[in-house]
């Protein structure tokens, strides 16, 4: 073999080895995301002329777990120097239960005497809007995509494909509905009707949260709650948000509600940079962790904007 051929084989082998290493690291990270505890954090503060603070909590991914946000809400409402909290929402929503758990913790925080102001980012829809309805004030950018009030459930069907390739499945079950959503067969009419009744019940819960939080009539909310999206400007006109503005607008409102004299100092929790952040980048690491979180907390019913 010529020297050029050996070089080519060597280069190909090197790239293949690097690809294998990256794949192995990704698999390792996914497994770690499913089982590992949260990484170390530190407190970051900036700005302001006052010693009193507004805490900033960010939800910037689909909502499939409530633990971290609930923990931060509980932490900051115990801090005497934190007079109010801004909850920055940039999420299409997510699973039903985590969205409700964060919403309930927002209500508890306010009952504790600490105002919570929501600041909407690029997207604050469905489950994210559900959470926002528990806040003292909702501030939206005019171009924010919000709304999408409703419930969605997705079920795949691979029955025809399995028939074509000659694969059969056998289900032994204790009741008619025990394998509802089985992807190996088409969903039956009775199963679809049962799921629709379940979704309608969850939908009614969502509507009630909006009615209570926005002080709107049930009929007016149901007119809007057909899953459609609104811009922040449209949502303001419909009474779904309180104010149009930016994150800084939300901080200023939070400072006022928290009776802070002068410009409030902002504090937030940050994660320590990990080895995986250095190797793969923080965004890639976060994406893999989100995949692990979703695997841990799978739900057939979601408050989520699908796009």
Q: Are residues 90 and 176 in the same domain?
A: yes
Are 171 and 23 contained in the same domain? no
Contact 83, 118 (CB under 8 A): no
Q: Which residue has the higher pLDDT, 13 or 201?
A: 201
Both 30 and 108 in one domain: the answer is no
Q: Which domain holds residue 10?
A: 1-36
> What tokens does 161 get?
């494909």
Task: Answer yes or no: do 100 and 5 share one domain.
Answer: no
- pLDDT of 218-234, one tens digit each? 999 999 999 999 999 99
For residue 284, the tally of other CB atoms under 10 A from its CB is 16
Q: How far apart are CA 101 and CA 94, in angstroms?
A: 12
Rounded-to-integer distance, Cα 51 and Cα 174, Å: 62
Q: State residue 137's pLDDT score.
A: 98
Model confidence at 156: pLDDT above 70: yes
Domain count within the chain: 2
**DSSP conformational letter for 302:** E
Rg for the chain, CA atoms, rounded: 24
Which of 17-31, 67-81, 102-116, 193-207 bottoms out in mean pLDDT, i.e. has the lowest?
17-31
Q: CB–CB of 129/147 below 8 Å? A: yes
pLDDT at 185: 87
Q: Which residues contact 307 (CB under 8 A, 6 or more apart)?
A: 92
Residues 79, 2 share a domain = no
Residue 29 CB neighbours (<10 A)? 22
Residue pair 39/255 in contact by the 8 Å Cβ criterion: no
Residue 304 DSSP SS3: strand
Whole-number pLDDT of residue 190: 95
Positions marked catalytic: 126, 178
Give me the mean pLDDT over the 143-171 stretch: 88
Same domain (yes/no): 234, 123: yes
Provide, rounded to the nearest whole percent, the portion of the chain with pLDDT above 90: 61
* Joined tokens for residue 152: 């969605």
User: Do 238 and 100 fall into the same domain?
Assistant: yes
In a shared domain, residues 86 and 225: yes
17 and 102: one domain?
A: no
Mean pLDDT of 239-265: 97
Conformational region of residue 166, where left means phi above 0, alpha means psi within -120 to 50, and beta covers everything else:
left
Longest dimension (CA), the chain: 81
Q: Are residues 249 and 140 in the same domain?
A: yes
**What is the domain-level CATH number for residue 289?**
3.90.226.10
């Amino acid at each position: 073999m010529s020297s050029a051929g050996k070089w080519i084989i060597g280069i190909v082998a090197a790239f293949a080895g690097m690809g294998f290493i990256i794949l192995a690291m990704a698999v390792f990270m996914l497994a770690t995301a499913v089982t590992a505890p949260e990484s170390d954090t530190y407190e970051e503060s900036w700005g302001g002329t006052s010693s009193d603070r507004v805490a900033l909590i960010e939800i910037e991914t689909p909502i499939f777990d409530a633990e971290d946000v609930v923990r931060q809400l509980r932490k900051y409402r115990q801090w005497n120097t934190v007079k109010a909290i801004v909850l920055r929402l940039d999420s299409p929503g997510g699973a039903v239960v985590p969205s409700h758990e964060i919403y309930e913790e927002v209500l508890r925080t306010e009952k504790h005497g600490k105002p919570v102001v929501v600041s909407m980012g690029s997207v604050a829809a469905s489950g994210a809007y559900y959470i926002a309805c528990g806040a003292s004030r909702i501030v939206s950018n005019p171009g924010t995509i919000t709304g999408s009030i409703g419930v969605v459930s997705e079920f795949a069907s691979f029955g025809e494909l399995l028939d074509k390739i000659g694969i059969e499945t056998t289900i032994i079950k204790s009741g008619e509905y025990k394998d509802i959503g089985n992807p190996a067969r088409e969903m039956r009419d009775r199963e679809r009707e049962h799921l629709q009744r379940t979704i309608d019940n969850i939908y009614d819960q969502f509507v009630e949260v909006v009615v209570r939080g926005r002080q709107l009539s049930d009929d007016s909310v149901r007119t809007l709650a057909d899953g459609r999206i609104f811009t922040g400007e449209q949502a303001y006109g419909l009474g779904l948000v309180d104010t149009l503005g930016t994150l800084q607008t939300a901080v200023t409102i939070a400072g006022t509600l928290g009776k802070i004299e002068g410009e409030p100092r902002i504090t937030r929790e940050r994660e320590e940079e990990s080895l995986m952040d250095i190797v793969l980048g923080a965004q890639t690491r976060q994406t893999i962790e989100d995949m692990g979180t979703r695997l841990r907390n799978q739900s057939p019913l979601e408050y989520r904007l699908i796009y």
